[in-house]
Amino acid sequence: MSGMKLQGGQGVTVQYAVATEGVPDEQDIRTWAGLALQEAGEEREVVVRIVDEAEITALNRQYRGKDGPTNVLSFPCEGFPGVATELLGDVVICAPVVAGEAVTQGKSPQSHWAHLVMHGVLHLLGYDHHTDAEAQHMESREIALLSELGYSDPY
């Protein structure tokens, strides 16, 4: 496990639970997460964990009641009453699913990774896509953030 403070005091810890070719390096993940974290407007920290299909499937089943792997899950930090914490939560990303999606969707792996890291962090910041209005708001923010890095609209 390693961590680093980003501009504005934002902290991102990156964990690799799987060694897979094509997984972005820590600096790229920190950059993408840090950009999305700037939405918080205050110093916050996140953990981004890169996992395999078995781990994400177990988490998806336990916390969402869904069988099978998914690309990204976000787990907000609940904390304890009266105890302040900068930890916003955890973002868990499944490397094999992301790699497969990039191929089937005709996206560059790097842009797809950037999108999903930011997507997970935005969920921790309260963005969601349960309704059309929420989805439009979240997607427009993702598009703007990705554009800042030179990536095209993922939708």
CATH number of the structural domain spanning residue 123: 3.40.390.30
Rounded to 5°, the CA angle 37-43-46 comes to: 50
Residue 154 lies in a domain: no
Residue 70 lies in a domain: yes
- Which residue, among 94, 147, 139, 144, has the nearest Cα to 119 in the 3D structure? 139
- List CB contacts of 28: < 8 A, sequence separation 6 or more: 110, 113, 114
pLDDT over 50 (residue 2): no
Residue 128 lies in a domain: yes
Per-residue confidence (pLDDT) for residue 119, from 0 to 100: 97
Enter the pTM of the model.
Answer: 0.89
Per-residue confidence (pLDDT) for residue 86, from 0 to 100: 84
Residue 82 lies in a domain: yes
Q: How far apart are CA 73 and CA 60, in angstroms?
A: 8
Residue 155 lies in a domain: no
Q: How far apart are CA 134 and CA 131, in angstroms?
A: 5
Residue 31 lies in a domain: yes
Q: What is the pLDDT of residues 19-71, one digit of tens each?
A: 878 899 999 999 999 999 998 877 889 999 999 999 999 999 999 999 999 99
Number of domains in the chain: 1
Per-residue confidence (pLDDT) for residue 128, from 0 to 100: 93
Contact 121, 147 (CB under 8 A): no
Residue 104 lies in a domain: yes
Per-residue confidence (pLDDT) for residue 3, from 0 to 100: 38
Residue 153 lies in a domain: no
Domain that holds residue 119: 2-148
Q: What is the pLDDT of residues 100-128, one digit of tens each?
A: 999 999 999 999 999 999 999 999 999 99
Per-residue confidence (pLDDT) for residue 7, from 0 to 100: 37
Across 13-21, average pLDDT: 90
